[in-house]
Chain A
Amino acid sequence: MAGPRNISVSEASRPVLPRHAKLKYDETRQVWVILAPERVLAPDEIAVEVLQLCNGERNVGDVADQLAAKYAAPREAILADVVVMLQDLADKGFLTEAREKTS
């Protein structure tokens, strides 16, 4: 089964795109797109970068760390932006969380 629904994105979340949402570079239109049922979304450059980092292993805090280092920007501001963006995707049903590995 897919990961949980209705997720609340926080620094500790380990989000990932669900199976029905695919991030792809559209060669014809030269843009990144997220393909989903009856939808084609156009994420901006930073959203693409965030989503590429969201592999279900890293948590949102790790993602913010990487972006803060790369852009030499304040981590807290980046974290806040990333959480808002991911929550928006989650609310639309285009984000899930990796399940906890059961030991």
Chain B
Amino acid sequence: MSDVLGNPTIPPDVSDSLAVLEKQRSTAETFGIPLAVLLEITHRCPLQCPYCSNPVELDRSAKELTTEEWKKVLSELAEIGVLQVHFSGGEPTARKDLVELVKHASDAGLYTNLITSAVLLTRERLSQLADAGLCHVQISFQGVEEGLADRVAGYRNGHRKKLEVAKWTRELDLPLTVNAVMHRQNLHQLPDIIQMAVDLDADRLEVANVQYYGWALKNRAALMPTVAQLDECTRLVEEARERLKGTLAIDYVVPDYYALRPKKCMGGWGRQFFNISPAGKVLPCHAAESITGLDFESVRSNHSIAWIWQNSDAFNRYRGTGWMKEPCKTCEFREIDFGGCRCQAFALTGDAANTDPACALSPLHETIFKQAEREAEGETNRFLYRNFSGGTLESENGT
């Protein structure tokens, strides 16, 4: 009974999906191709969530890769050793060729996941996706009842539709993840959201606190939770994890503003992850285009995806530790968290090579933490909705 991988049956911490690569081969030296890739196949979306993870500058549909281009990308990804693809957006079901793309990915041996708002899906189309080999469906929820949920999404009757699609998903025997993005205005609904996930027969629930870049940064004052809210959230998640063991797996993402140490964003720049934008740019993270002065290569260039991953300037710029300044440069945690998030460092300090202010060692940490605390206690609840025209401010009466 030899132990091939030199570790127990299942890695003790499976919360990091890429722990496998990280442990087995030193990606720091070899930059092995990521196991999973996020495909943002379009930025079009009927929802207008104020914390959307897409860049503020959205790709218009005319710039989107064609069906044939995406198919070529999928084949290439499978060939170089990517195992999973997440079809995301925008709203991936806004692309008419989604079934065709899922089929192509499945035929290439890729594990396929659909990350969707669900509001555009019909039962027939979902059934076609299942037949095309779709492995898993993740549906986002903005709350637990339609009043708040539809207001956050800026989309009428969205919540009702999501519940319906979640039901179809299970009827078609597709596994379901409920993705709940949490912030100050919906954290009080968390106990009911957990119960909703159980009632929907979901396998998995993501309790994902908003991360404050791009659209979310613009809406920070309306979204930032208080420390007390966050503590309660953590307690509820821990209690539910224990109570629902074997029934519902719960992943938990906390906002890093209230941490002392920054998160190991993306597992470190260019180490474990990349995504492809609607226009075909290969990006170290979905917010990377917010950093100005970086030139991202496209799948439309004459370089292969593997070459872009290994050799392009954008991927190598913040890879490893060589780019670091103080206090990161000599910090004992520099290879633990890689200085946090480059996009956040850029957004809050103007230089992506600075320490992420989420880190207590950043000279800006105190200022930013205090500001977040003030915003959390503030009265600003109006959203700036996400759209192609730079955002629309919610009206005073919340419509």
Contact = CB atoms under 8 A, between A and B. Distances in A.
A37 B177 contact: yes
Given A35-B83, A39-B17, A89-B10, 18 more contacts: A5-B247, A6-B246, A19-B135, A19-B173, A26-B81, A31-B24, A33-B83, A35-B84, A37-B113, A37-B177, A38-B36, A40-B18, A41-B11, A43-B9, A44-B8, A71-B1, A91-B245, A93-B249
Contacts of B80: 28
Interface residues of B, number: 46
Nearest to B35: A40
A83 interface: no
Nearest to A22: B111
Contact of A46 (B1, B113, B173): B1
A82 to B, nearest CB: 10
A22 B241 CA distance: 24
Interface in A22-79: 22, 24, 26-29, 31, 33, 35, 37-47, 71
Contacts, number: 113
Given A6-B246, A7-B246, A89-B10, A42 B173 contact: no
Closest 10 CB pairs of A and B: A28-B81, A20-B175, A6-B246, A35-B111, A42-B20, A37-B136, A93-B249, A5-B247, A47-B9, A40-B35
B53 to A, nearest CB: 15
A19 B136 CA distance: 9
A19 B36 contact: no
Nearest to B249: A93
Contacts of B61: none
B235 interface: no
B2 interface: yes
A39 B18 CA distance: 7
B22 to A, nearest CB: 11
A15 B377 CA distance: 51
Nearest to A45: B4
B3 interface: yes
B266 to A, nearest CB: 14
A38 B2 CA distance: 27
Interface of B: 1-5, 7-11, 14, 17-18, 20-21, 24-25, 32-33, 35-36, 80-81, 83-84, 109, 111, 113, 135-136, 138, 170-171, 173-175, 177, 201, 203-204, 245-249, 251
A41 B251 contact: no
Contact of B135 (A7, A20, A26, A42): A20
Contacts of B248: 93
A20 B11 CA distance: 19
22 contacts: A2-B173, A2-B175, A6-B246, A6-B247, A7-B246, A27-B81, A28-B33, A29-B24, A31-B4, A31-B20, A33-B20, A33-B35, A33-B83, A35-B111, A37-B113, A37-B177, A40-B18, A40-B20, A42-B24, A47-B10, A71-B1, A88-B9
A35 to B, nearest CB: 4
Contact of B203 (A20, A27, A42, A46): A20
Given A31-B4, A42-B7, A44-B5, A26 B249 contact: no
A23 B248 CA distance: 21
A37 B175 contact: yes
Contacts of B8: 44
A27 B201 CA distance: 34
B102 to A, nearest CB: 15
A29 B10 contact: no
Contacts of B11: 41-42
Contact of A29 (B1, B25, B174, B251): B25
